[in-house]
Every structure is written in structure tokens, then in C-alpha cells.
Amino acid sequence: VPAAPPGPLGCDDPESEEAAEVAVSYINGRSHHGYKFALNRIENIRVIPEGLNSDIIFLELDLLETTCHILSPTPLENCTVRSFAEHAVEGDCDVKLLRVGRKFSMLASKCHSHADSSEDILQVCPDCPLLTSLNNTEVLTTVTAALNDHNSKTADAYLRLLEIGRAKIQYHPAHIVYVEFAVAATNCSAKEAKDNVEACQLLPDDQSNYGFCTATIATTQDKSQDLRVDCQLYGHQVPTPDSPFLSRPGVTYSQSVQDTP
């Protein structure tokens, strides 16, 4: 009696997890803004037989933002998923893969990310700082002050701002602005930049040296400000291919869908 066809793939089957891993690696590998995302849940899977030993697989994935900026060389498995209290950001992705035998290849992906609702956070953590717009005046002021502070004290290369990754503001019990931003080394030392900052350009791709900074400005009752900055450079890495974007909360990007013939 011919063997019964295999039952439908379950969302927690090893094969589904393998396909999801390929998809998440593809999405992170082709993104160059924001943060890396990790798999949180496989929402659904649909398999459409395509021919002898090959199928089209549609996955609905639920991802969560990690604390690793997309330019960080840290492997995804070592990236911490941002906690609920840090105001998590979720990514919802629909992906389409081709499976031939045990080999998966990506055909298309479409992702939308959104931050958790402020009500949810405040319900659990009334004093937690909440995500704020990246072009908020206080955020821009804090990033500028932090980068200037770092560049005025470092003996290394002069750093330029690449992008602001995220920003939060806490109002109680103290007024604190938290910012995270990506930076890149330039061809100047910080000292040279003092003389002619216009001449300081980002290093070419084959010498690029990216980094990441976190900073806070706490404003006390008497309006004095306490600035703290921490910048770490990653060292030179091989640039990755271009890609769709994922982790701007609230913005949807889609991969140009190459439908299968």
C-alpha cells in the first residue's frame, strides 16, 4: 500500500523551524537599518507542492527586535531580545520560500514592524521610559551632545553619526533621555577634526569601521544635566549585500516579489 502522504507541516516541526531560520537570516542579512530581529513564533505555514520533490512554502513569522544593531558583527544567537520593559518592537513577516529536497531558498519577504503599545508597558511598568520619535528635539540634542562629547575626549578616529537607532524618554522620577545611535569612523583623528571637520569623510567600504553608541542625559531638579556616553567601534568587517528594511517601527517595507513562474 503506498505510504500515506506526510501530514501538513506543523509550526513547530523541525523542517518549519529550518525554513524560518533561513528566512530570518535572509531578512537580517539584507537589512541595513535599525536592529537585528530574532524569531519569536511561527504563526502559520502553508506548503504548496510545486513538482517532484519541491514545494513552495509560505510562512507567517512573528519576530522580536534584539539589542544588536544591524551593523554589529555579533551573531544573532548571541543577541539579546529586547525585553518587554525596554519597550519591545515586534516584526510581522510573510515570507515565501522554495524547498527542493532539504534545501530552502528565499523567494520573497514582506515585513512590518511596530512597537508595543505604550499602554501595555505603563500597565506593567508605570515609570518605564517609552519609545519616542527619532526626530524629537530632545533626542537630536542628546545625540549631538553625546557625539561631540565622545569626539572631544577620544584619541582615536573622529566619529560621524550614521543613524539614530532608538530613543526613549523617562519623565518620572527624573527626566532622562536615552538614545542609541550607529556611528562610523572617518579618515581624521579627533584632533585633526578640530582644525577642519569638513575634511573628515567616512572611510571607504574596504576600510569601514562602524560602531554603536548609547547615551543618556539626566536633567535634575535644579536643571543641571548629567551626560553619559558609551561608544564602541566594531572594527573593520566585510560589507553585506543591500536589502529590504525591517526595523523602523511602524513602517512597512516589502521585497520586490519575484513570483515563481
Partner 1 sequence: SVAKRAVAEVAQHDKVPRPVGFLPPPPPPCPGKIRHFRI
Residue 97 · residue 56 · CB < 8 Å = yes
**How crowded is residue 113: how many other Cβ atoms within 10 Å of its Cβ?**
24
Quickly tell me which residue has 519597550 as its cell. 87
Q: Is 22 in the site for partner 1 (CB under 8 A)?
A: no
Q: Which is nearer to partner 1, 90 or 149 (CB)?
A: 90
Stretch that binds partner 1, among 10-18, 69-77, 154-162, 244-252 (CB under 8 A): 10-18
Asked if 250 interacts with partner 1 (CB under 8 A), we say no
Q: Nearest-CA neighbor of 177 among 219, 217, 143?
A: 217
Q: How far apart are CA 6 and CA 1, in angstroms?
A: 14
- Which of 22, 24, 57, 64 touches partner 1 (CB under 8 A)? 64
Q: Does the footprint of partner 1 cover residue 84 (CB under 8 A)?
A: yes
Identified binder of partner 1 from the candidate list 49, 54, 120, 260, rule CB under 8 A: 120
| Residues of this chain, 90-119, that bind partner 1 according to CB under 8 A | 90, 116
**Shortest Cβ 250–partner 1 spacing (Å):** 14
Closest CB to partner 1 among residues 43, 226? 43
- Rg value, the chain, Cα: 22
12 contributes a contact to partner 1 by CB under 8 A: yes
Q: Which helix (H) or strand (E) holds 124?
A: helix 118-124
CA neighbor of 106 nearest in space, from 169, 61, 63, 51: 61
Rounded to a whole number of angstroms, the minimum distance from the CB of residue 243 to partner 1 is 23
CB 147 within 8 A of CB 161: yes
Interface with partner 1 (CB under 8 A): 8-13, 16, 38-45, 62, 64, 81, 84, 88, 90, 116, 120
